[in-house]
Amino acid sequence: MRLQVLSSGSEGNAYLLRAGEVTVLVDAGLGVRVLSERMQAARLAPRAVDHLLVTHGHLDHSRSAGAVAKRQGAVLHCAETIMTHRALDRAPRKAALPIGGEFLLDGRDGRGSLAAKAVLLPHDCDPTVAFRFEHAGRVAVILTDMGHPRAEVARALAGAHILVLESNHDPALLRTAPYPQALQERIRGDRGHLSNEQAATMLADLAHPGLHTLVLAHISKKANRVELALEVAVAALERLGLGHVRVLAAAQDAIGPALEV
Ligand SMILES: [Zn+2]
Ligand SMILES: [Zn+2]
């Protein structure tokens, strides 16, 4: 299984997962044209996506989901309550996410399958989920847009070999960021986004000796710095005795490497 970040941050999110015969896109938060360019850059053939999974209804995750699902001939999986959302309603084939439960994603023509699980997160768009994928004994987890750490979420997502984890802001930089007061409060609130330190708390519960790569995601351009996010995560891993884990930062403006899970 290979995981590749196509875009990550408040301007748009998309993650590509290729597992044997099954190709999955998680979130489609960029415009159709830019997202198509990113998929081409990732050497994805036209109409190769079998399933498009949407974490939640915020536009930085759902913006072009309906249009992309239609173009790709992919099944759109989202919470039942957001199926009629304007960004999603163009998808010809939709499936309701079984939140909290496991489900199987089949490859085209029924070939291959990928096990997936959607886990509920505290965030100010209900419902918001993280995903855990398992294929041939390998596990990838994508967890962004979470208001505060929760041990039970980490338990439900256990065993990642690659972990994509939100490390959104630094509280001090957030205070001086050019945001209206209400937005600042939203971001730092219990249903907002994980700070670097809160990400480290989640990491302590999610990390295990099998974890080999941590990808820090949804890093704020105005209320964080990549070096700071990396520094906090590296220190947390060292405290856990997991200094061998490779730590990367997901970018907003360019695709990341294709990572072997
Ligand atoms: Zn977001
Ligand atoms: Zn969100």
The string of pLDDT tens digits covering residues 33-44 is 999 999 999 999
Delineate the domains of the chain, giving CATH numbers in brackets.
2-253 (3.60.15.10)
Ligand nearest to the CA of 128: 2
Ligand nearest to the CA of 7: 1
Tell me the CA–centroid distance for residue 9 and ligand 1, in Å. Answer: 7
Tell me the CA–centroid distance for residue 218 and ligand 1, in Å. Answer: 7
Q: What is the pLDDT of residues 154-192, one digit of tens each?
A: 999 999 999 999 999 999 999 999 999 999 999 999 999
Average pLDDT over residues 75-93: 93
Tell me the CA–centroid distance for residue 109 and ligand 1, in Å. Answer: 33
Tell me the CA–centroid distance for residue 163 and ligand 2, in Å. Answer: 18
List % helix, strand, coil for the chain (3-state, nearest 5).
30, 30, 45
Round the CA-based radius of gyration of the chain to a whole number and report it.
17
The mean pLDDT of the chain is: 97
Average pLDDT over residues 95-124: 95
Tell me the CA–centroid distance for residue 220 and ligand 1, in Å. Answer: 10
Average pLDDT over residues 145-149: 98
- The residue whose two tokens read 């856990």 is 240
Q: What is the pLDDT of residues 51-67, one digit of tens each?
A: 999 999 999 999 999 99
Name the burial class of residue 45, with classes exposed (0-12), middle (13-18) and buried (19+) by CB atoms within 10 angstroms of its CB. exposed
Tell me the CA–centroid distance for residue 182 and ligand 2, in Å. Answer: 15
Whether residue 127 is preceded by a cis peptide bond, meaning omega within 30 degrees of 0, is yes
pTM above 0.95, yes or no: yes
pLDDT value, residue 109: 83
Distance CA 256, CA 219 (A): 14
Is the predicted pLDDT of residue 111 greater than 90, yes or no? Answer: no
Tell me the CA–centroid distance for residue 121 and ligand 2, in Å. Answer: 10
Is the predicted pLDDT of residue 204 greater than 90, yes or no? Answer: yes
Is the predicted pLDDT of residue 249 greater than 90, yes or no? Answer: yes
pLDDT value, residue 110: 85
Ligand nearest to the CA of 29: 1
Tell me the CA–centroid distance for residue 58 and ligand 2, in Å. Answer: 5
Is the predicted pLDDT of residue 7 greater than 90, yes or no? Answer: yes
